[in-house]
Structures are given as C-alpha cells and as structure tokens.
Amino acid sequence: MIDIKHLREAPDLYRQASIQKRLAVDIDALLAMDAEHRRLLTDRQNLVAEKNRIGKQIGQLAGRLKKADAETQATLRDDMADLQKRPAEIKKQEQVIELRLAELEPQLEDLLLRVPQPPDEGVPIGKDDEDNVELRTWGTVPSFGFTPLDHVALGAKLGIIDIERGVKLAGTRSYVLRGAGMRLHQAVLQLALDMMVERGFEPMSIPTIVRQEAMQGTGYLPAGRDQCYVLEQEDPTLFLVGTAEVSLTAYHMDEVLEETDLPRRYVAWSSCFRREAGTYGKDTSGLYRIHQFEKVEQVIVCRGDVEESIHWHEQILANAEAVLQALELPYRVVHVCTGDLGMGQAAKFDIETWMPSRKSYGETHSASRFYEFQARRLKLRCRDAEGQLRFCHTLNNTVIASPRILIPLLEINQNEDGSVTVPAALRSYLGGLERIEP
C-alpha cells in the first residue's frame, strides 16, 4: 500500500505510475473520497467536542439554578431546555456520519489497495516484456550437430515426463514426472536450497494455504484474484499460494522488529499454485506454463533504506545467477520495463534461461524490490536506534522453479542418442548418475 500523505502531495506521480504500469486506478476519485473521509472525521470530532461542551454548560447551569432568584431561574430553565435538545440533534448527525463512513471506508480502502508503487528512476519505459532491456548474458548458447528434441518428446522417450496422463488426471497444464525425471526435479530444488543455506539464509517450511490478509498484504489481492486458487467451500478467505514469497514476507505481519535484528534472510521450498487466467492458448504444451509446480524462494526483510534495498536486490539476483552457473545453463538478465512491473514492484530484474525448443530465452527467475509497499500493507515495522518505528523494506527472488527449469536442463544437455547428460553439480544428489538414458 502506498503512503496516502505522499499521494496527496504528489498525485501526478501516481497518475503516471498507473499509466506506466497499465493499471487502471482513478486517482482523482480516490483523492475526492479521501477529502470527504477526512471532512467526515473532522465533523465527527467536532460533534464529540460539542457534546462535551454542552455537558459542561448544562452542569454549570444546574449550579446557577440553585443559587438564582425566581425570575433568573425561569430564564435559566429556558436556556437549559435549549441545551438539552441539542444532544439528540447531535446524535442524529453522528448517525448520518457513521452511515456514510461505513459506506465510504471500504471503497476508499479498496481503491488504496489498487494504487501502484511508482517505478524507480532508471526503470525502462515500455508497455510489455518486449520492451525489457537486456543487461548481460552468461554462458554459450548451444548448437547441435543433430536435430534436437524438445523437452516433451525427450521426456517421453526417456520415460521421465508424462504429459498425457497428467492431463488425464488433472486437466490442461498438468504433468507427471517419473523416475529420473522426479529425481532430477528434486535434485535441482535441493541444490538451490543448499546453496542458499550456505549463503546465510534461514530455511523455512511454510504454509501453502494462507489467509486473505497475507495475500492482500503482499499485493496479490485484490487485483490478482483471478490468478489465485480459493478454497471457497472450505473458507473463501483461504488461498493456495502462487509463491512462497507470500508466506515468507507475511511471516512478520503486524510485528515490530528490532533494527539490530535486520536483515532477515529467509528461504523456502514450497509447492505453488497458479490458475494462469488470461493465458488461454499460450504455452499450453509442456512444462513452461503450468498450474502446480515447486519453487525455492528467497525473501529479505531489511530496514527502510533505499540504498540498502538496492544492495540486497543485487545480492538476491547474484544468488539466483550462481545456481544457474552451477547448472551450466546459459542465461541473460533483463531490466524489466514499467509495463511489465507488478503493482508493488519499484524495480525488477528477470533472469531468462536459454530454451532450445523456444529458440529464445524463457523467464525462469524474477528479482523484485518493493521498498515499504508490502510492509505498509502488512503493518511490518522496525524500531531504530532512537526508538522510532519505521516501515521495513522487502525483497524477493526465485532461487529456482521446477519443473520449468527442466526445460533448458534437459534440452541443452541432450545427446544424439537421446540420452541426457546430468550436470556435474547435480550428480551427488542422484547417487553419482551421469546420464539419463532411454
């Protein structure tokens, strides 16, 4: 959530952010609601003050009545009668205000929750991922002396991926990993988790079913509801997470942390669920865009300092690059443009790994910094050395997501005989297995 005070001071910044991020938010309507809300609160406060003032005046009149002569008492009784009518009038006015506040406040909160974080200076201006800017590449894009197979055909030939039966079991965008395919999937995830623990991140086992407050606090509601799986029959306020970011970032919601205990560095391996609404007909074959997958996610909660956020953004990006380099997979890093940023992201870097079957790089990682956007929504604060409470900053990045990463891993390492060479970094997780053979 944005700072409403800052929005009042710089409304054009948020109007521009809405345009750049392609998120329709009526900033003028929000400001009008905010102005009315503040006026109503002031009116209510004034009525309370008037009630207190009348109470004192009635008490003072009662004291004067006891001491006054008959003629003065008559006048004082008239004044008393006028004063005693006013509380009933005030109560009616308060009721009108309360009814309007009850109607207005949910509308105002909903609009505030939809206002995007302005992109950082330096974020490329663009409308979609076609306008993302390549920053660097790593590794060599492979060439083959034979006709390579895509991961679906390769997985079927090796008996390690079964799309057909996955669809039979669970519908479109479903799959089954078998034998060495399942072991490879687990090995990639375990390698990523181990590398993060070595880098000082605390491993966490977290819920994949979370309350609405956690989804809303991390920015996945209300705007992203169409992408979420909701446990409607069980409880319509419970959701399956699309990333461990939700649980890890919301872990400290409604808490005050000590600045001396920051940064908090967490990593979790979890199942993830996404509806992929709005992607009908897009990437329907294979493992690229699926409903259920597993991911190792890194999250940092640090003090509310821009330079520190930028530092940690570079670090979490480097962590993900280290995993891909260990797997010897060629990739590129792109600076995500304004139109491809999420609501709460001030800046984002994507890592795209080379996928031979796509004849291009495909997104496998996203590293995001939010500043205090998520922390405000989560009421996540820290206490500094002077005892002042400030909102924390939050960041997150994929360490690895599987089975999507199996696409480049299998396709790049395939051999002419249909076998796949296992990257050296994974062999110890597979009992020394060097090749997956038909």
- Arithmetic mean of pLDDT, 305-333: 98
pLDDT at 45: 96
Distance of alpha carbon 270 from its chain centroid, rounded?
16
pTM, two decimals, is 0.92
pLDDT at 311: 98
What domains can you pick out in the chain, each with its CATH number? Answer: 4-113 (1.10.287), 129-436 (3.30.930.10)
The set of catalytic residues is: 274, 289, 363, 366, 404
Count of residues in the chain: 438
pLDDT at 84: 76
Asked if residue 151 lies in contact with residue 407, where contact means CB atoms within 8 angstroms, the answer is yes
Q: What pLDDT digit, counting tens, does each position of 62-120 carry? A: 666 656 656 576 666 766 666 777 888 999 999 999 999 999 999 999 999 999 999 99
Asked if residue 316 lies in contact with residue 300, where contact means CB atoms within 8 angstroms, the answer is yes
Number of neighbours of residue 66 by Cβ within 10 angstroms: 7
Question: In the chain, pLDDT over 70 holds for what percent of residues?
Answer: 94
Please enumerate in sequence order all residues whose Cβ is within 8 A of that of 377, keeping only pairs 6 or more positions apart, or say none. 1, 113, 216, 217, 218, 219
Beta strand 161-162 with 176-177: parallel, antiparallel or unpaired?
Answer: antiparallel
CA angle 15, 21, 26 (to 5 degrees): 35
Task: Please tell me the distance from the alpha carbon of residue 374 to that of residue 223, in angstroms, as a whole number.
Answer: 14
Task: Please tell me the distance from the alpha carbon of residue 341 to that of residue 103, in angstroms, as a whole number.
Answer: 32
pLDDT at 53: 85
Map tokens 């909160």 to a residue.
109
Give the 3-state secondary structure of the chain.
CCCHHHHHHCHHHHHHHHHHCCCCCCHHHHHHHHHHHHHHHHHHHHHHHHHHHHHHHHHHHHHHHHHCCHHHHHHHHHHHHHHHHHHHHHHHHHHHHHHHHHHHHHHHHHHHHCCCCCCCCCCCCCCCHHHCEEEEEECCCCCCCCCCCCHHHHHHHHCCEEHHHHHHHHCCCCCEECCHHHHHHHHHHHHHHHHHHHCCCEEECCCCEEEHHHHHHCCCCCCCHHHCEECCCCCCCEEECCCCHHHHHHCCCCCEEEHHHCCEEEEEEEEEECCCCCCCCCCCCCCCCCCEEEEEEEEEEECCCHHHHHHHHHHHHHHHHHHHHHCCCCEEEEECCHHHCCCCCCEEEEEEEEEHHHCEEEEEEEEEEEECHHHHHHCCEEECCCCCEEECEEEEEEEEEECCCHHHHHHHCECCCCCEECCHHHHHHHCCCCEECC
Q: Please state the φ and ψ torsions of residue 410, each to the nearest 5 degrees.
A: -75, -45
Burial of 317 (0-12, 13-18, 19+ CB in 10 A): buried
Q: What pLDDT digit, counting tens, does each position of 408-429 carry? A: 999 999 999 999 999 999 999 9
Least confident among 56-70, 289-303, 332-346, 388-402 = 56-70
Task: Please tell me the distance from the alpha carbon of residue 320 to that of residue 336, in angstroms, as a whole number.
Answer: 16
The two tokens of residue 225 are: 């509801």
Task: Please tell me the distance from the alpha carbon of residue 12 to that of residue 108, in angstroms, as a whole number.
Answer: 19
pLDDT at 238: 96
Least confident among 41-55, 90-104, 140-154, 171-185 = 41-55
Asked if residue 30 lies in contact with residue 115, where contact means CB atoms within 8 angstroms, the answer is yes
Burial of 436 (0-12, 13-18, 19+ CB in 10 A): buried
Question: Binning pLDDT at 50, 70 and 90, where does residue 338 land?
Answer: very high
Mean pLDDT score across all residues of the chain: 94
**Residue 340 pLDDT greater than 60, yes or no:** yes
- Arithmetic mean of pLDDT, 215-242: 93
pLDDT at 86: 81
pLDDT at 64: 64
Please enumerate in sequence order all residues whose Cβ is within 8 A of that of 4, keeping only pairs 6 or more positions apart, or say none. 34, 112
Question: In the chain, pLDDT over 90 holds for what percent of residues?
Answer: 87
Omega before residue 222 within 30° of 0, cis: yes
Task: Please tell me the distance from the alpha carbon of residue 232 to that of residue 103, in angstroms, as a whole number.
Answer: 26
What number of CA atoms fall less than 13 Å from residue 151's CA on the CB side? Answer: 26
Partners of 162 in the beta sheet?
176
Q: What pLDDT digit, counting tens, does each position of 15-45 carry? A: 999 999 999 999 999 999 999 999 999 999 9
State how far the alpha carbon of 273 is from the alpha carbons of 208, 244, 291, 295, 376, in Å: 9, 10, 5, 10, 25
- Which one has a higher pLDDT value, 212 or 52? 212
